[in-house]
């Protein structure tokens, strides 16, 4: 459903004329369609309704408080990667018990603050973080649920800078080492093993890498349970792509079918962390043309924005 439409040569968002809006408040500005965000969320929620699952929106996709509040009203939780994102999610009305803390760079202070807030779960990504999290749990008197993010060595066939599930990527713990990570969690105070987490990348247009990763995950869960680990939660990450041109986006219903076929019989509570697929096509950057510059082969429009305003593209290259 397209909430951005031209009427008499002027672009409108949900019936609001952007030209008139620009004349009233000036440019540049970002304009988001709450109706489009709601529509995207409900399409995804309907697709996974057959599964025992929660949706924790990936705040890194767009951390605007109004966007977060819109999703909070729809019942979404949050997948966060920093202490600042924890605070934003809480401020927007997302309850602590629906917040999952992921990311490779959590600090001791951030972990202490998150535990004091009572967030739902920490997805740990290294042996060093496991030790730091235990220290934070002891310092705050918390008993925290932990999922180890595993790296299944799956190439998501997406942009190199946003692929996160290959062995050479910095994210997660290699499957060959992950059993030792669970043993480490079990022996440290303040930590309780509850799940396994995986996220193989962003902007995936093909469902096959998900199938490969989730099959590996199912096999690994079986091994963990055989060794006495009580695994009750699976965090399957996000990553569904959107069309920027002629691409065909994955069907959320087809994606849910892949999930059901690979991990659906493990009797686990599932967590999904969609981000781009919820907000990527729901906003627009509005600016004005300063001047037109004529070159030999091209004509250039000089506008009042730059790459510094394109927050998602720049973060994708980090």
pLDDT at position 155 is 53
Terminal alpha carbon distance of the chain:
32
Q: Which tens digit of pLDDT belongs to each residue from 19-31?
A: 999 999 999 999 9
For residue 311, pLDDT beyond 80: no
User: What average pLDDT does range 5-19 have in this prediction?
Assistant: 94
Q: Is the pTM of this model over 0.85?
A: yes
Strand partners, 145: 192
Q: Which tens digit of pLDDT belongs to each residue from 253-307?
A: 999 999 999 999 999 999 999 999 999 999 999 999 999 999 899 999 999 888 7
- Helices 127-140, 108-117: axis angle to 10 degrees equals 50
- pLDDT classification of 46: cutoffs 50, 70, 90: very high
Least confident of 39-43, 53-57, 84-88, 312-316: 312-316
Q: Are 111 and 165 in contact (CB under 8 A)?
A: no
Q: Which tens digit of pLDDT belongs to each residue from 141-197?
A: 999 999 999 988 665 454 444 444 434 544 678 888 899 999 999 999 999 999 999
Q: Which tens digit of pLDDT belongs to each residue from 202-252?
A: 889 999 999 999 999 999 999 999 999 999 999 999 999 999 888 899 999
| Residue 117 phi, psi dihedral angles, 5° rounding | -80, -15
């Amino acid at each position: 459903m397209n909430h951005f439409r031209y009427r008499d040569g002027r672009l409108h968002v949900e019936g609001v004329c952007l030209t008139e809006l620009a004349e009233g408040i000036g440019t540049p500005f970002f304009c988001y369609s709450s109706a489009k965000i709601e529509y995207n969320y409900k399409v995804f929620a309907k697709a996974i309704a057959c599964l025992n699952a929660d949706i924790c929106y990936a705040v890194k996709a767009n951390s605007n408080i109004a966007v977060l509040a819109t999703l909070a009203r729809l019942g979404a939780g949050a997948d966060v990667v920093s202490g600042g994102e924890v605070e934003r999610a809480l401020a927007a009305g997302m309850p602590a018990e629906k917040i999952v803390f992921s990311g490779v760079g959590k600090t001791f202070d951030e972990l202490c603050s998150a535990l004091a807030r009572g967030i739902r779960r920490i997805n740990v990504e290294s042996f060093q973080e496991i030790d730091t999290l235990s220290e934070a749990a002891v310092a705050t008197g918390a008993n925290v649920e932990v999922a180890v993010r595993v790296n299944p060595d799956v190439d998501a066939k997406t942009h190199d800078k946003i692929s996160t599930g290959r062995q050479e990527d910095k994210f997660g713990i290699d499957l060959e080492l992950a059993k030792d990570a669970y043993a480490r969690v079990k022996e440290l105070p303040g930590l309780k093993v509850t799940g396994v987490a995986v996220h193989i990348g962003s902007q995936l247009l093909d469902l096959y890498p998900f199938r490969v990763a989730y099959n590996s995950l199912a096999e690994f869960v079986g091994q963990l349970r055989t060794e006495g680990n009580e695994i009750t939660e699976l965090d399957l990450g996000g990553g569904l792509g959107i069309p920027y041109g002629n691409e065909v986006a994955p069907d959320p219903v087809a994606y849910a079918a892949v999930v059901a076929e690979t991990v659906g019989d493990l009797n686990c509570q599932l967590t999904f962390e969609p981000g781009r697929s919820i907000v990527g096509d729901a906003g627009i950057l509005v600016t004005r043309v300063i001047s037109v510059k004529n070159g030999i082969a091209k004509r250039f429009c000089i506008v009042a924005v730059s790459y510094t305003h394109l927050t998602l593209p720049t973060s994708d290259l980090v």
